[in-house]
């Protein structure tokens, strides 16, 4: 990052990005809840004309998200998937090819497997933890490499810097879904990526009240093309959702620091629990890519933990029905601790054999750790484990 474009620490910058900056400005950026804007005449050069194209509140969020990565204003969308779809539309045409991480959000898989082929765009899914596999999958027609790191939900990592070099050497661009870590804990553009992609619905907004997505990049022409696609397809973010996301942004570093620490505590407890077969979290000693995590992440590893229980699918489903504090939802990134059965929820539309190949088994549970005392979350999981253990014992005796 350059000191001129990014002079403040993120802890200082985030609370200030959602504030008025000039003399007489309101401290809290207001919601401009208007579909259209007045002009002084036909030759008016007003910044905003119609909210499907641009809106002052949405523009404030875009400026803030861009500054987090020393970039021009981001392009904000109604959802994270809308952001991905617009990115693909802006970069790809019939005959083009995409290389994508095999371990990726289920919605991304559906988009690439079921929607883009109708437009003549083909995708090869690879294990992007293996840079050689990425290089081998590239073709002359490859225009984009799309990776998600950490991957949802297994948390496997892809080496952004190395893959950027590989992609660029073959004339392809690199986009990174950075939703799980946000710019606070990982900066893809600094590592060589061309785009950072976000579901701002998750950690950036952080309170489960506003859908949103964004693409951050440094090429003004590509960003302008994204804005044109958004204008044509109507996937713009609503002003109220942008305003709510700006409020969440103020506490993003503080929340992620606490949530990451809570996640580390829970991961260490789960990793030695006798009823847990495997636990995935980048700081654990047994995590295969711990060294890469230390190089690529910025001091912490996020709030998501994945684990699989002895007893597989039956035990996992029992836990989901037995927890009292953890909330069973299809979501991550909120201040509450959330539990998800990825195989039937986020990845329910992905073919079973593909899920299994990426480690999304029927027995895998994804934990999005919140701001509660981690000991209370441990206690909730423990009582659920004990309850399901008793049920299994009774079932066996019967």
- pLDDT of amino acid 305: 97
Identified catalytic residue from 96, 143, 159, 177: 177
130 a catalytic residue: no
- For the chain (length 398 residues), average pLDDT per consecutive 10? 52 86 85 90 85 94 96 98 98 98 92 97 97 98 98 95 98 98 98 98 98 98 97 96 97 97 98 94 95 96 93 85 93 95 74 73 90 97 88 40
Tens-place pLDDT, residues 306-358 = 999 887 788 888 899 999 999 999 999 999 999 998 877 767 667 777 777 77
* pLDDT for residue 151: 94
Read off the pTM: 0.92
- Determine the Cα–Cα distance for residues 306 and 153; give it in Å rounded to an integer: 7
pLDDT number for residue 345: 72
First to last CA, the chain: 64
Active site residue 127: no
SS (HEC) of the chain = CCCCCCCCCHHHHHHHHCECCCCCCCCECCCCCCCECCCCCCCCCCCCCECCCCCHHHHHHHHHHHHHCCCCCCEEECCHHHHHHHHHHHHCCCCCEEEEECCCCHHHHHHHHHHHHHHCCEEEEECCCCHHHHHHHCCCCEEEEEEECCCCCCCCCCCHHHHHHHHHHCCCEEEEECCCCHHHHCCCCCCCCCEEEECCCCCCCCCCCCCCEEEEECCHHHHHHHHHHHHHHCCECCHHHHHHHHHHHHCHHHHHHHHHHHHHHHHHHHHCCCCEEEEECCCCCCCCCHHHHHHHCCCCCCCEEEEEECCHHHHHHHHHHHCCCCEECCCCCCCCCEEECCCCCCCCCCCHHHHHHCCCCCCEEEEECCCCCHHHHHHHHHHHHHHHHHHHHHHHHC
The per-residue pLDDT for 313 is 81
Q: Can you give the pLDDT at residue 396?
A: 32
Q: How many CA atoms lie within 13 A of 236 on its CB side?
A: 22
Q: What pLDDT score does 394 carry?
A: 38
Catalytic residue from among 52, 162, 298, 327: 52
Q: Does 258 participate in catalysis according to the annotation?
A: no
177 given a catalytic annotation: yes
Q: Give me the catalytic one of 67, 96, 102, 105.
A: 105
The single residue of 67, 102, 143, 202 carrying the catalytic annotation is: 202
């Amino acid at each position: 990052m350059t000191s001129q474009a990014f002079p403040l620490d993120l802890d200082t910058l985030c609370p200030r990005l959602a504030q008025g900056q000039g003399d007489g400005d309101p401290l809290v950026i207001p919601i401009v809840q208007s579909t259209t804007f007045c002009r002084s005449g036909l030759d008016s050069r007003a910044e905003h004309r119609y909210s499907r194209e641009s809106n002052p509140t949405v523009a404030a969020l875009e400026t803030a998200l861009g500054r987090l990565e020393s970039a021009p204003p981001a392009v904000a969308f109604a959802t994270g998937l809308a952001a991905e779809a617009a990115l693909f539309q802006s970069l790809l045409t019939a005959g083009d090819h995409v290389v994508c991480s095999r371990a990726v959000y289920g919605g991304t898989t559906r988009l690439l497997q079921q929607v883009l082929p109708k437009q003549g765009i083909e995708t090869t899914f690879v294990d992007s933890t293996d840079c050689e596999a990425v290089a081998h999958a590239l073709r002359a027609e490859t225009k984009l490499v799309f990776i998600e790191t950490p991957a949802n939900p297994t948390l496997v990592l892809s080496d952004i810097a190395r893959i950027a070099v590989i992609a660029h050497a073959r004339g392809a661009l690199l986009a990174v879904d950075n939703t799980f870590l946000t710019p606070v804990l990982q900066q893809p553009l600094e590592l060589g990526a061309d785009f950072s992609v976000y579901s701002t619905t998750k950690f950036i907004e952080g309170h489960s009240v506003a859908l949103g997505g964004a693409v951050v990049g440094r090429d003004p022409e590509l960003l302008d093309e994204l804005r044109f696609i958004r204008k044509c397809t109507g996937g713009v973010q609503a002003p109220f959702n942008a305003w709510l996301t700006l409020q969440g942004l103020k506490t993003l570093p503080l929340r992620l620091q606490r949530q990451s620490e809570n996640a580390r505590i829970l991961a260490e407890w789960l990793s030695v629990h006798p009823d847990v077969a495997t636990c995935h979290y980048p700081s654990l000693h047994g995590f295969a890519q711990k060294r890469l995590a230390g190089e690529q992440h910025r001091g912490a590893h996020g709030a998501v933990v994945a684990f699989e229980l002895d007893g597989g699918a039956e035990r996992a489903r029992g836990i989901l029905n037995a927890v009292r504090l953890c909330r069973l939802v299809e979501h991550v990134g909120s201040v509450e601790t959330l539990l998800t059965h990825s195989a039937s929820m986020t990845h329910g539309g992905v073919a079973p054999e593909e899920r299994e190949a990426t480690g999304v088994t029927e027995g895998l549970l994804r934990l999005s750790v919140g701001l509660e005392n981690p000991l209370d979350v441990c206690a909730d999981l423990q009582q659920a484990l004990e309850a399901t253990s008793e049920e299994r014992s009774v079932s066996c005796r019967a």
